[in-house]
């Protein structure tokens, strides 16, 4: 095998609670990850030596700051005789969108390299390596289509999903800065109970699995919305438009800037998308589904 082609899917956070702040400044959280069909494409080819990453986006860093590059360096440190590769990344997941695009790219690059070079590395070792690259990477390394995550996002429990869900995403070309969103987050009060919040997330997931979207919406929250709203006022405006048009479940994903509405059918997502044509605002519409 000389090359491998991989789909690198995005994720949505169907629920995200900040449980408390750690002494090191990081925040403990609980979230419900859900893979979606919006995906990048990664092509990895063996070469005589070295590493080269190219992409369709001129604005994307392809040097040592890119997570794929960092993933290759990490593998190189573990396997000094690792062969050279050229990587072509075709981006469809927007940058800084709260959709986990960079983490997904790193995870699927690692999985692709393991298969292409038949690397003797266990999934546990890949998880340890991925955790150093980013908190969302372990989710994409797992085969879970849906999972509950806690800690800083690295502790996972795979959750089955009973029904296909459809989503209308509102995407912006300019994303949010995750670090700034967390810095803007004002934390006060007592930490939330992990046990209680895990129970709420399971109930929420159960509602979604039975296509009880409105009941799920009464439980779903994203505690990063308030700081993201301060940094990008167009986010709450977009959410208000979706709710005003009758979308039953509206949330921001991750630290933004993507806003989404969840539906039990493609028809509902299409109908709302058509109605949005009459409302001018700086978001691009994408319809997708559970991966």
Question: What CATH number labels 3-158?
Answer: 3.30.230.10
pLDDT tens track for 46-82: 999 899 999 999 999 999 999 999 999 999 999 999 9
Length reported for the chain: 291
- What's the pLDDT at 34? 97
- Whether 136 is catalytic is yes
State how far the Cα of 40 lies from the Cα of 35, in Å rounded to an integer.
13
- By mean pLDDT, which of 88-102, 114-128, 182-196 is the weakest? 182-196
Kindly give, in sequence order, each residue whose CB lies less than 8 Å from that of residue 280, ignoring residues fewer than 6 positions away. none
Does pLDDT of 170 surpass 80? Answer: yes
What pTM, to 2 d.p., does this model score? Answer: 0.94
Q: Which of 11, 91, 131, 172 is catalytic?
A: 11
What is the tally of helices (H) and strands (E) in the chain?
Answer: 10, 10
Provide the mean pLDDT of the chain.
93
State how far the Cα of 124 lies from the Cα of 116, in Å rounded to an integer.
19
* Phi/psi at 99 (5° precision): -110, 0
Return the sign of the alpha-carbon dihedral for residues 25, 145, 122, 77.
negative
Return the CATH class of domain 166-289: alpha beta
Single out the residue of 178, 183, 201, 163 nearest to residue 253, CA to CA: 178
- Using a pLDDT cut of 90, give the percent of the chain over it: 81
State how far the Cα of 85 lies from the Cα of 96, in Å rounded to an integer.
26
- Whether 223 is catalytic is no
Does pLDDT of 189 surpass 70? Answer: no
Q: Where in the chain is the domain with CATH 3.30.230.10?
A: 3-158
Q: Which of 40, 91, 131, 136 is catalytic?
A: 136
State how far the Cα of 102 lies from the Cα of 95, in Å rounded to an integer.
8
Kindly give, in sequence order, each residue whose CB lies less than 8 Å from that of residue 49, ignoring residues fewer than 6 positions away. 83, 84
Q: Where in the chain is the domain with CATH 3.30.70.890?
A: 166-289
């Amino acid at each position: 095998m000389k090359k491998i082609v991989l789909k690198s899917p995005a994720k949505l956070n169907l629920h995200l609670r900040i449980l408390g702040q750690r002494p090191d400044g990081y925040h403990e959280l609980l979230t419900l990850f859900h893979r979606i069909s919006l995906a990048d494409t990664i092509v990895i080819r063996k070469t005589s030596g070295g590493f080269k990453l190219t992409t369709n986006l001129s604005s994307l860093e392809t040097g040592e700051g890119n997570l794929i590059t960092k993933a290759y360096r990490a593998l190189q440190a573990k396997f000094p005789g690792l062969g050279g590769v050229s990587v072509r990344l075709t981006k469809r997941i927007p940058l800084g969108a709260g959709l986990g695009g960079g983490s997904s790219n790193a995870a699927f690059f690692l999985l692709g390299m393991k298969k292409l070079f038949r690397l003797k590395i266990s999934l546990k070792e890949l998880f340890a390596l991925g955790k150093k690259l980013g908190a969302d990477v372990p989710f994409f390394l797992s085969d879970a289509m849906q999972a509950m995550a806690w800690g800083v996002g690295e502790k996972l429990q795979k959750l089955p999903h009973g029904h296909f869900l459809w989503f209308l995403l509102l995407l912006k070309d300019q994303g949010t800065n995750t670090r700034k969103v967390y810095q803007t987050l004002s934390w006060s009060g007592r930490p939330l109970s992990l046990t209680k919040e895990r129970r709420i997330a399971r109930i929420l997931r159960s509602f979604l699995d039975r296509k009880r979207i409105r009941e799920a919406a009464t439980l779903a929250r994203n505690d990063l919305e308030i700081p993201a709203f301060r940094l990008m006022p167009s986010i709450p405006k977009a959410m208000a438009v979706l709710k005003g048009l009758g979308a039953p479940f509206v949330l921001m994903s991750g630290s933004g800037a993507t806003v989404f509405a969840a539906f039990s059918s493609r028809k509902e997502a299409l109908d709302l998308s058509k109605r949005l044509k009459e409302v001018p605002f700086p978001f691009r519409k994408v319809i997708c589904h559970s991966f």
